Structure 1
C-alpha cells in the first residue's frame, strides 16, 4: 500500500518525530556533501543509537528513500488543472528542476546508491539489502500528459512518458551540467525545449494517424 508523504508527516507529529527529523536532517547534510551514508553512519553523526536508528530506517535503501522524498518536497505535491499537455509538462519541469538543482548532491548520492546496488547485483554481492528503487517521475509525467487521453493512443502516451523521463530528473543535470558544462538555468531551458518537442511530436503523429 502506498503511503503519501502527507500521511507520513501527519503520523509522525508525536514524540518520535524529533528523532526521525534529526536523522533525516543529518542524512541530508551528509548526502549534500556527496556521501551516500549507511544507517549506522547517520546514527553516529546524529548521536543516536544504532538500535534506535534501525527502528526508523531498517535499511540504507529505506533511509535514502526518505531523504529523497524530503528533498523532492513540492515536486511530489505538484498538480496542474490546465487542460493542455504541453503546458502541464512545461509547468512540471519549471517546478521540479530548480528543486532538483538545489538538492543536486542528494539526488546524485541516491543515483550512486542505485548504480552501486546494480553493480553488486551483477557481482552477486548485494546480499539481503533491499533494492533501492526510483520512479516518482513515472506517475508525475503520466499526470502531466493526462489531457492526451482519448486523442493519443495508449501505447503512444506511454512511449511519450518514457521519452520525457529522459529529460526529467537528476540525470538531466548529469548530462547537461557535468558533460556539457551548462548553467542550471540553461540546463532547465534545454529540458523544457526537449519536453515540448516530444509532446508536440506525439500530438502531430496522432493527428496524422501514425
Structure 2
C-alpha cells in the first residue's frame, strides 16, 4: 500500500512539473507578445528558462503556442470574476460559467481553433506511454471551478466534491460550446442558458446527494 501511494505521489509530481513547465512557456510567450514582438520558439524558451528542445516538446510550432496564448488572454476575465464571487454557491458557479461562455462565444472561431489544436496534440502523443506525454492543455478552467465550488468542500465528502468539480467541467468551456452549437443546434443565447442551468443542476444534485449520505434519508418523492 505504501509503495502504491509513493508511486501515485511520484506520478502526480511529474504531472505537476509538466504543467508548470507548460505554463511557464505560455506565460513567457504572453509577456513577449504583449510587447508587440514577433516571437520565435528559442526566444520564448529563453524567457521561460528552458531549452528550445523542451519548448518544442510542449509546442511543436509557434501556431500551437500562440493559440495557448489566446486562451491565456481569457484568464484575466476569469480572475476578475473569481475575485468578486458572491457567498452563495449557486451564484458563484453561475457567475463563472457566465463569464467563460461570454468570452468564448465572443470569439467562437478562435476557440474552435484552440480545440482543434488540443485534439491535434492528443493525436500526436496517442502512441506514447502515459509517462512520456506532455500536457495537451492548461489547468486554468479546472482550478477556477475548484475555487468557485470551494465553499461546498466542507458539506460533502472529498469524492463527492471532486465528482461535482469534474462534472461541472463537462458542461462549460469550449467542448460544451461546440456540443451545444453543433450537436444540439442551439443559438448562442440558448446555449449559454443551457450551460448555466446544467452547472446549477449538477450542484443541486450533488448537495442533495451529500445530504442524503449524511442523513441516510431519501425523500418520499424520489422514485415516484
Whole-angstrom distance in 2 between the partners of 1:129 and 1:105? 28
Whole-angstrom distance in 2 between the partners of 1:55 and 1:162? 35
Can you give the 5+ residue segments of structure 2 that lack an aligned partner in the other structure? 1-16, 49-54, 217-224
Can you give the 5+ residue segments of structure 1 that lack an aligned partner in the other structure? 24-45
Alignment correspondent of 1:78 = 81
Deviation at 1:185, TM superposition (A): 1.0
- Tell whether the 8 Å contact from 1:72 to 1:99 is kept in structure 2 after alignment: no
| Alpha carbons of structure 1 residues 172 and 201: separation in structure 2 relative to 1, 3 Å | same
Whole-angstrom distance in 1 between the partners of 2:124 and 2:164? 31
Alignment correspondent of 2:166 = 162
- Say whether 1:141 aligns with 2:145: yes
- Tell whether the 8 Å contact from 2:85 to 2:95 is kept in structure 1 after alignment: no
- Tell whether the 8 Å contact from 1:176 to 1:187 is kept in structure 2 after alignment: yes
Whole-angstrom distance in 2 between the partners of 1:199 and 1:129? 33
Given the alignment, which residue of 55, 70, 79 partners 1:67? Answer: 70
Whole-angstrom distance in 2 between the partners of 1:72 and 1:62? 16
Number of residue pairs aligned between Structure 1 and Structure 2:
176
Whole-angstrom distance in 1 between the partners of 2:100 and 2:75? 8
* TM-score relative to the length of structure 1: 0.70
| Alpha carbons of structure 1 residues 163 and 92: separation in structure 2 relative to 1, 3 Å | same
Alignment correspondent of 1:34 = none
RMSD between aligned residues: 3.2
* TM-score relative to the length of structure 2: 0.66
Whole-angstrom distance in 1 between the partners of 2:174 and 2:184? 14
Whole-angstrom distance in 2 between the partners of 1:97 and 1:208? 32
- The correspondence of residues 2-13 of structure 1 with structure 2, limited to 5 A, is 12=31
SS at match of 2:112: helix
- The correspondence of residues 25-174 of structure 1 with structure 2, limited to 5 A, is 58-59=55-56, 60=59, 61-79=64-82, 80-123=84-127, 131-174=135-178
- Tell whether the 8 Å contact from 1:168 to 1:191 is kept in structure 2 after alignment: yes
